[in-house]
Chains A and B, each alone.
Chain A
């Protein structure tokens, strides 16, 4: 099956194997290098392991049949995640360039893929760092006892608790009112919240400090940001297991329900989770592996990173659910004790006659008399069900900022656990941001927009411009904007990019050539498994996921959830449809990167046809190992 897109002059654009050998020997060069293999692996692990492992995977696991979810997850990890990972590592290492450089070398018409990666990196980086700003806010507020989200504040005349807080809960109030000061819909902007602007500035400054010289600085920081989360997770695991109810949580998480495997959305969610969890298509991985020595074993790296990522997801899920089990048990106990007290008071029974153990019995006994049942109806006892508390929809920001923070207030020495937790979240997110910034900065350098400017300045410009645009997330409606970005800026374009990557390498670059490259780099050709994956199976899986997503989004009216204290069902979040002008923004967010791919190809075709000028090839500056882009210039 030799399906290859005709690609003349490919050899002119890429360094040959002899060039690569020479690059290895000649030490001087502009291209950065990793300080050590450990730095490279830690950076990649940090990039892949992010907030999604902690707050998306546990929810998916629990809602799709617990232990049974492992099956589609691991299958798709093997058939979709690892091949894509290996592909990005290998192509970066071979062509020794960031994503823009790689795709323009493979074929000028494919430069759009690199541009799309850069755009997505930029958008995703913007809203991801805002989440870090929120984490920073909670972190800064953790240095006090009692924690500010453990109690409702009093109203102005000190007669009662603030009504909004009383009707919902202190953690909800702290999140929606004191942190976000959220407006009631995306149309009401609500003005800039100054404390959020400060936290945003802090988050971007920390990021700038770490990325100031690219992998030179990030390579050192990752020793902390990539390892600290594991330390904190272990501490939480030990602490969690000693709390009452933790085992309930773990049991609930992992109890398998094999019927879920028949549900197609389980497989879809597993596929999406594997894909997004690896941060594929953003260009960061290609860039990171391009700094590797030519003969680095990228096959091994891909497998190691995939295993670590999968293990981290499962480990984090376990830890999260010990704490959720503890919280649910506490809520259940509180609920039950309230009911018991009400019964005791209503029937004037001696304390100790109704306990948690004989609650159901006693309730039945009391209900059996006519007068008793009347009284009980009047009491309005709430039903206490442990399972309902456990299956509280806990994912995303709700998990971190509402559920987990509440659980922390119930643990002794709460400020300590709060600080640890938010430091961990910050590290997880920061290491992912390194890849996003790398994707943007390296693309700018590849484009040679500002050739003489040092990297510090380019990183500074990227951070500053992202910060300024991200101020939109510090508005009163910022939370809704972020949800918008989260749903549309990263999801569809990345699937398209990944599909184009695989098709590009397998059919435009040529799978035969790719095999030979890998043989040159690591000593053996990739076996039949990889061939099958790259050529057929992985692109097919990505295509299927994309089509289902796309059809789903296009066919339904898009809605979002809002916090509205004056709504009827408060504190249940209100579901509103998006206003019409938001659809335009969604189209821009998802469409701009996606259309960059065919758009740039079209632009190149038009230039070639209309102007009848030959493309001047730029020579390969092998000493610096920079593959210059195929610029269109007039022939001499």
Chain B
């Protein structure tokens, strides 16, 4: 059984369901049977549709091209439909959600898995930047400490002696930045 939900898929650009559209459907199904089933020459006449409703849903069966009274096995029809699902969908500008076939679940696309997960690449970039920054800052502060040590200490001691007469001073070294 097939269910068409044209309006919800296309909205304003929805087409009206009529005989011609039905003809297209039968033709695509015949194409599917020809390509993915046993290779016999299926024709539009072999796809029989019944019980059509205004909802746009209907039942269909496929007869064998050799003998019109023989029905093709349901499983083979299902398989052919499953394999050509995307072709059928695009013929009607619909998707798996809007063109439902009761009994055949939509085939799942395997997601594209890149070799390196993208987050590792981004991580590498971030860590590279941060690492470089840390190295730069550490190197510059080592340089600055080297300059200060030679010139700075004596200045501090002199200042403290000059301004304050402390009763006693302790031996702790002055903490530097």
Binding site for B on A (CB under 8 A): 22, 26, 28, 30, 32, 136-137, 139-141, 143-144, 151, 153-154, 158-161, 195, 198-199, 201-202, 205-206, 208-209, 212-213, 216-217, 337, 341, 344-345, 348-352, 445, 448, 451-452, 454-456, 618-619, 621-624, 626
Q: Is the CB–CB distance between A143 and B177 below 8 Å?
A: no
Would you call A30 and B174 a contact (CB within 8 A)?
A: yes
Residues in B neighbouring A349, C-beta threshold 8 A: 54-55
Complex CA gap A350/B54 in Å reads 5
The distance in angstroms between the C-alpha atoms of A50 and B122, with both chains bound, is: 25
Q: Inter-chain contact count A-B, CB under 8 Å?
A: 123
Q: B160 in the interface, Cβ–Cβ < 8 Å?
A: yes
> Given A137-B119, A202-B127, A350-B55, are A28 and B159 also a contact pair (CB < 8 Å)?
yes
Query: A352 touches which one: B7, B137, B163 (CB < 8 A)?
Result: B7
Residue on B with the closest CB to A452? B173
The CA-CA distance from A141 to B111 in the complex, in Å, is 16
Asked whether A160 lies within 8 Å of B108 as measured between CB atoms, the reply is yes
Q: Which residues of B contact A (CB under 8 A)?
A: 3, 5-8, 53-57, 108, 110-111, 118-119, 121-123, 126-127, 130-131, 133-134, 137-138, 141, 145, 155-156, 159-160, 163-164, 166-170, 172-177
Decide if B141 touches A623 in the complex (CB within 8 Å): no
Q: List 27 A-B contacts (CB under 8 A).
A: A26-B163, A28-B156, A139-B122, A141-B119, A153-B111, A154-B110, A158-B110, A159-B108, A201-B127, A205-B130, A205-B131, A205-B134, A209-B137, A341-B8, A345-B55, A351-B8, A352-B7, A454-B141, A454-B177, A455-B177, A618-B170, A619-B167, A619-B168, A621-B160, A621-B174, A622-B163, A626-B175
Residue of A nearest to B123 (CB): A140
Q: Which residue of A lies closest to B105 (CB)?
A: A160
State in angstroms the CA–CA spacing of A22 and B159 once bound together.
13
> In the assembled complex, which residues on chain B have CB atoms less than 8 Å from the CB atom of A22?
163
Q: How far is the CA of A208 from the CA of B3 in the complex (A)?
A: 60
Chain B residues near A195: list those with CB within 8 A.
Answer: 119
Set of chain A residues within 8 Å of B137, measured between Cβ atoms: 209, 212-213, 217, 456
User: A residues within 8 A CB of B138?
Assistant: 212, 456
Known interface pairs A208-B134, A619-B168; 16 further A-B residue pairs with C-beta atoms within 8 A, sorted by A's residue number: A26-B163, A28-B155, A143-B118, A144-B118, A201-B127, A202-B127, A206-B130, A209-B134, A345-B55, A345-B57, A350-B56, A351-B7, A451-B175, A455-B177, A619-B170, A623-B156
Least Cβ distance of B1 to chain A in Å? 10
Given contacts A30-B174, A619-B169, A621-B160, contact A209 B123 (CB under 8 A): no
Assembly CA distance A122 to B78 (angstroms): 64
CB-based nearest A residue for B119: A140
Q: In the assembly, what is the distance between CA of A212 and CA of B134, in Å?
A: 8
Q: In chain B, what residue has the closest Cβ to A214?
A: B177
Chain A's nearest CB lies how many Å from the CB of B158? Answer: 10
**CA separation between A140 and B119, bound complex, in Å?**
5
Nearest opposing residue in chain B for A351, CB measure: B7
Residues of B within 8 Å of A351, CB to CB, are 5-8, 55-56
- In the complex, A497→B63 CA distance in Å? 85
CA gap between A341 and B8 in the complex, in Å: 10
Closest approach, in angstroms, between the C-beta of B160 and any C-beta of chain A? 5
- Rounded to whole angstroms, the CA-CA distance of A619 and B169 in the bound complex is 8
Indicate if the CB atoms of A32 and B108 lie closer than 8 Å: no
Q: Which residues of A are found within 8 Å of B110, using beta-carbon distances?
A: 154, 158
Residue from B119, B134, B141, B155 within 8 A of A143 (CB atoms): B119
- A198–B159 CA distance with the chains assembled, in angstroms: 49
Complex Cα gap A216–B177 (Å): 10
A195 vs B111: C-alpha distance when bound (angstroms): 21
Q: B122: shortest Cβ distance to chain A, in Å?
A: 4
Q: Report the minimal beta-carbon distance from A344 to chain B, rounded to whole angstroms.
A: 6
Judging by beta carbons under 8 Å apart, are B55 and A30 in contact? no
Closest B residue by C-beta to A618: B170
Pair B176/A454 contact, Cβ less than 8 Å: yes
Q: List, in ascending order, chain A residues with CB within 8 A of B53's CB.
A: 348
Please report the C-alpha to C-alpha distance between residue A159 and residue B172 in the assembled complex, in whole angstroms: 73
- Chain B residues with CB under 8 A of A151: 111
Question: Across the interface, do A143 and B160 meet the contact criterion of CB distance under 8 Å?
Answer: no
Question: A161: which of B57, B108, B126, B133 is its contact (CB, 8 Å)?
Answer: B108
CB contacts (< 8 Å) of A136 on chain B: these are 126
In whole angstroms, how far apart are the Cα atoms of A202 and B130 in the complex? Answer: 8
Q: How many Å lie between the Cα of A232 and that of B7 in the bound state?
A: 38
Task: Tell me which residues across on chain B come within 8 A of A202, comparing CB atoms.
Answer: 123, 126-127, 130
CB distance from B137 to the nearest CB of A (A): 5
Partner of A341, one of B5, B133, B169: B5
Q: How far is the CB of A160 from chain B (nearest CB, A)?
A: 7
4 nearest interchain CB pairs?
A140-B119, A351-B7, A140-B122, A350-B54
Q: Are B119 and A26 in contact (CB under 8 A)?
A: no
Query: Which residues of the partner chain A approach B170 to less than 8 Å between Cβ atoms?
Result: 618-619
How many angstroms between the C-alpha atoms of A618 and B130 in the bound complex?
A: 41
Residues of B within 8 A of A456 (CB): 137-138, 141
Q: Is the CB of B175 within 8 A of A623?
A: no
A348: B residues at CB distance < 8 A: 53-55, 57
Q: Which residues of A contact B55 (CB under 8 A)?
A: 344-345, 348-351
List chain A residues, Cβ under 8 A from B121.
Answer: 143
Instruction: Determine the chain B residues whose CB is within 8 A of the CB of A217 once the complex forms.
Output: 137
A623 contact from B3, B8, B127, B160, Cβ within 8 A = B160
Option from B126, B134, B164 in Cβ contact (under 8 Å) with A140: B126
CA distance A451 to B177 in the complex (A): 11
CA distance A160 to B105 in the complex (A): 10
Residue of A nearest to B113 (CB): A153
**CA of A230 to CA of B53 in the docked complex: distance in angstroms?**
56
Shortest CB-to-CB span from A543 to chain B, Å, is 38
- Asked if B108 and A141 sit within 8 Å, CB to CB, the answer is no
Chain A residues, Cβ within 8 Å of B156:
28, 623-624
Bound-state CA distance A195–B122 (Å) is: 13
Q: Enumerate chain B residues within 8 angstroms of A344, measured Cβ to Cβ.
A: 5, 55
For B169, list chain A residues within 8 Å (CB): 619
In the bound complex, CA of A212 to CA of B137 (Å): 8
Closest to A161 in B: B108
In the complex, A201→B119 CA distance in Å?
A: 15
- Inter-chain contact A30/B166, CB cutoff 8 Å: no
Residues of chain B within 8 A of A350, CB atoms compared: 54-56
